[in-house]
Structure 1
Amino acid sequence: MSSDLPTGPEEANEALFSRFSINQQTIKQWSLPELVDGCAKAGVRGVGLWRAPVQEYGVAAAARLVRDAGLTVTSLCRGGFFTALDSKDRADALVDNRAAIEEAAALGTETLVLVSGGLPAGSRDLHGARERVADALGELAPYAADAGVRLALEPLHPMYAADRCVVSTLAQALALAERFPAEQVGVVVDTYHLWWDDTIGSQIGRAGAGGRIAAFQLADWVTPLPAGVLLGRGQLGDGAVNLRWFREQVDAAGYRGPVEVEIFNPELWERPGAEVLAEVAERFARHVMHAR
């Protein structure tokens, strides 16, 4: 690892950071070239990307930029939003998700993160909305498999169920994913969204036994929640989540993939990107990877 990241005897250990990935949203103030350059200089090997900045830069150009820097795209966010009642809206969503699959394949990542979508306006039918998610997965999973991409269904905290994601628990995500081959549809374990669930340990075990853990993402839960909620994720170690416990659980479940830090936080976005990256890496070492 570069001296830009923590340089203590444990922090500098290559094995400690071999799984570390930084999601683009954590350092949103950086352009895509700045992110790639900053990670390469710091010795960070993995990046999670988002579709909008990739599209703005150009998918082929972004893929070349990342590849030439020796980085790996650990996930692409995001597809999904499958719950509309209108048939045209559902068809449009499928078109957009096929494009997302193609973008993921071009970037060389095997993981496309999906957010299911919330309740349509005026609807209170959670079951119906979840079945429309299943229908969309049935349409898209074979297409994704042909492209070498796995769909990764992400459950979000229940506070998002109405407007953003009717899949709120890992158990609900698995119930949908398990209708399809594991190599086609997996799940995302995100500490910010799942830390509160007292069944999460057994559900992580279930996901691991079925080979369903497609991505593992980290952020902390801090209070009070800000207005808008979405931008309230905390820096690692600042909140209520037992991050190390989560990492131990996914490891015990057989997951050996990237550990991606995804923090939506305006305070981090106001700081120099290199400073944020170094701090996240230090927190990752201290709160996620170090043995007790």
Structure 2
Amino acid sequence: MEDFKRLSLNQMTTEQWSLREAIEGCARAEVPWIAPWRHKVEELGLSTSKRLIKDAGLKVSSLCRGGMFPAVTASERQKRIDDNKRAVEEAAELGTDVLVMVCGSLPDRDIQSARQMVADGIAQLVPFAKSYGVKLGIEPLHPMYAADRSVVVTLDLANTLAEAYQPNQVGIVVDVFHVWWDPDLYNQIHRATGRILGFHVCDWIIPVPDMLKGRGMMGDGVIEISRIRQAVEKTGYNGPIEVEIFNEQIWNQPGDETVCQMKERYLTHV
């Protein structure tokens, strides 16, 4: 168990499982952490989710996701702020202090305005999140997702957003899938010292089978996962390590098989 004390199942890795099934699967496999997604929590119900996680002896590494701030109209932007406030409340209720922020895409062709909407959205959310003891973890995504998921596409952009706030308010989530390619990766990880709130692992496989559902199990691709982990840990981060894999083929296999493979690859490649 000692080898797995930081291992967390991000629920998207076993997308075919309900949250109840994922909780039971983690308990069977002695995976101590779980990272639920909000739509899975909603299906089960917040109070039931909290109770089952607690009864299974699991800890919640993060809740995914907040963000998605940019929108064409002011009223729609406010709706998104309101939804983020609900996400903060859900994170606090589930017992995690990290809300992962997938910041949102451009509502039109003006990417700079979209980035300003992200900054404005975070500014509105920070005081509310602080009142609940929840930190906002900005997760930069790979640039291929700029049009439909996040205009925050580098650790440099994420660090700049986060540095407007105290480290106990806004930080960074490092996902190897999104940042491995960055020529300034290790400088930016060092820059994030004291602000890293999460570390996500998977692999970049060749060829990428699908733009969204194309992540691989650790060891099946080209990412220097252990080197990135070492750099993250040099900043002082010693929190949970989430395995987050979007992959149709992995989703189609039995969840227990996926968790077993995840544990094996964690030991050998993370």
Equivalent residue, structure 1, for 2:202:
219
Equivalent residue, structure 1, for 2:97:
110
Unaligned ranges ≥5, structure 1: 2-13
1:269 corresponds to which of 241, 251, 264 = 251
Task: Give deviations 1:30-53, integer Å, cap 9, x for gaps.
Answer: 221211111112111000110001
| Residue 273 of structure 1, CA deviation | 1.0
Equivalent residue, structure 1, for 2:114:
129
Residue 131 of structure 2 is aligned to residue 146 of structure 1: yes
For 2:242, what is the secondary structure of its paired residue? strand
State how 1:142-181 maps to structure 2 within 5 Å. 142-181=127-166
Unaligned ranges ≥5, structure 2: none
| Residue 126 of structure 1, CA deviation | 2.1
Letter in 2 for 1:224: P
| Residue 99 of structure 1, CA deviation | 0.4
Identity of aligned residues (%): 50
How far apart in 1 are the matches of 2:240 and 2:99?
Answer: 14
State how 1:31-70 maps to structure 2 within 5 Å. 31-70=18-57
**Which one has the largest radius of gyration?**
1
How far apart in 1 are the matches of 2:45 and 2:248?
Answer: 26
RMSD: 0.9
How far apart in 2 are the matches of 1:47 and 1:189?
Answer: 17
Task: Give deviations 1:16-40, integer Å, cap 9, x for gaps.
Answer: 2111111011011222121111111
Letter in 2 for 1:213: I
Letter in 1 for 2:87: A
Equivalent residue, structure 1, for 2:262:
280
| Residue 241 of structure 1, CA deviation | 0.3
The TM-score with structure 1 as length reference comes to 0.91
Letter in 2 for 1:212: R
Task: Give deviations 1:207-257, integer Å, cap 9, x for gaps.
Answer: 01xx11011101101122224x11001110000101100111111111011
1:95 corresponds to which of 54, 66, 82 = 82
Runs of 4+ in 1 over 6 A off after TM superposition: none
